[in-house]
Chains A and B, each alone.
Chain A
């Protein structure tokens, strides 16, 4: 009894002294804020990705557009100059590879700095860009401009920042939900195994019947 107790304590100590390991699948999410792609990677058990893990931004053709590393929260950020269907791949080591996809229609490139980019945003936005500010919010602004002059671009940026901040906890929750193992999955898997056994039993029974005839 003493030996068993000692063994338990020892095992316990060993567990906590050992190296971190992560034999789980990688989950990730990305949030597009204008031309900024922000996101996070982590493991399905809720652990964050290790810091300084390499993250690559891949073009639809598969070439590397940019690289960065995760910060201590497992988060990364890219700024893009084109609205493409990017793929973001993180290598968390030991064969743990995570991939998230970016939808090009989510990317809104800054209109003021690049004239060439206006064309690509124009067919993304539901209405064609107006000469003034190229966004739907500009018509709202004209009503308010009698009181205060607001730069629509600055307003857009402020709104985007506020929304991004509000969405951050939601993204975390979504990531956690994605990675949670559902009971229905476990039961489904067990059901398939039982079914396969049943099928095999049927096949074996038929074979032995055929042999005895």
Chain B
């Protein structure tokens, strides 16, 4: 998911930085003392999740967790991802500081949009709610991998080759995240039923 420095062209970098900046600004406006702790915790979770490698054939993948962030944080997913991605770049060398904007936008934007889209139905009991939760987890990862392919395509790499590789290779991650999202939401529903309403109130 992390594109490194030196791959993308300048317009893509600028566009990504613009989206990330705008999203972060919108997110920070909704920040208050109630959603601050959950933002911090999810930011930390996102930061660590990329270190948990799931063995996958000859290689491995890591979780992204952006669907969960988008649903629980809304626009606050932008600052949460920004902080975590910046720290990943500095501490682990994932991505880089020049491409930070693009990486943040690629991860946070589909999550926020999908989260907002599915929000009305996701708390329903039964199959509809479960289906929505799965779509959120899996869809966010797939949308992000599609955006990564797009960023590469606008920087000269052949789109279909890049898209096929990134999307296909993230299919298993998408499946895992779909199940993870279902499980996480079931837990939140049982432990704190009013959570989502609180998170999106402001």
Contact = CB atoms under 8 A, between A and B. Distances in A.
User: Is the A/B pair a real complex?
Assistant: yes
Interface of A: 7, 11, 14-26, 43-45, 47, 93-97, 99, 181, 185-186, 188-190, 192-194, 196-197, 200-201, 204-205, 208
B44 A23 contact: no
Nearest to A10: B175
A140 B3 CA distance: 53
A83 B166 CA distance: 39
Contacts of A24: 94
Contact of B91 (A16, A99, A189): A189
A15 B57 contact: yes
Nearest to A20: B59
A45 B168 CA distance: 20
Contacts of B8: 95
Given A21-B61, A193-B84, A11 B93 contact: no
B162 interface: yes
A156 B91 CA distance: 41
A186 B162 CA distance: 31
A59 B37 CA distance: 50
Given A16-B56, A96-B4, A189-B47, 16 more contacts: A19-B165, A20-B56, A23-B1, A24-B94, A43-B59, A45-B60, A47-B58, A93-B165, A94-B152, A95-B152, A186-B48, A189-B84, A189-B88, A190-B44, A196-B83, A200-B31
Contacts of B39: 197
A190 B4 contact: no
A188 B90 CA distance: 11
Contact of B6 (A16, A22, A99, A185): A99
Interface residues of B, number: 54
A172 B128 CA distance: 51
Nearest to A179: B93
A188 B91 contact: yes
Nearest to B89: A25
Contacts of B37: 197
B40 interface: yes
Given A15-B57, A99-B6, A201 B93 contact: no
Contacts of B87: 189, 192-193
Contacts of A17: 57
Contacts of B59: 20-22, 43, 45, 47
Interface string B73-99: 000000000011001100111110000
10 contacts: A15-B172, A94-B152, A95-B3, A99-B6, A189-B47, A189-B87, A192-B83, A193-B43, A193-B87, A201-B36
A17 B58 CA distance: 10
A204 B95 CA distance: 31
Nearest to B91: A185
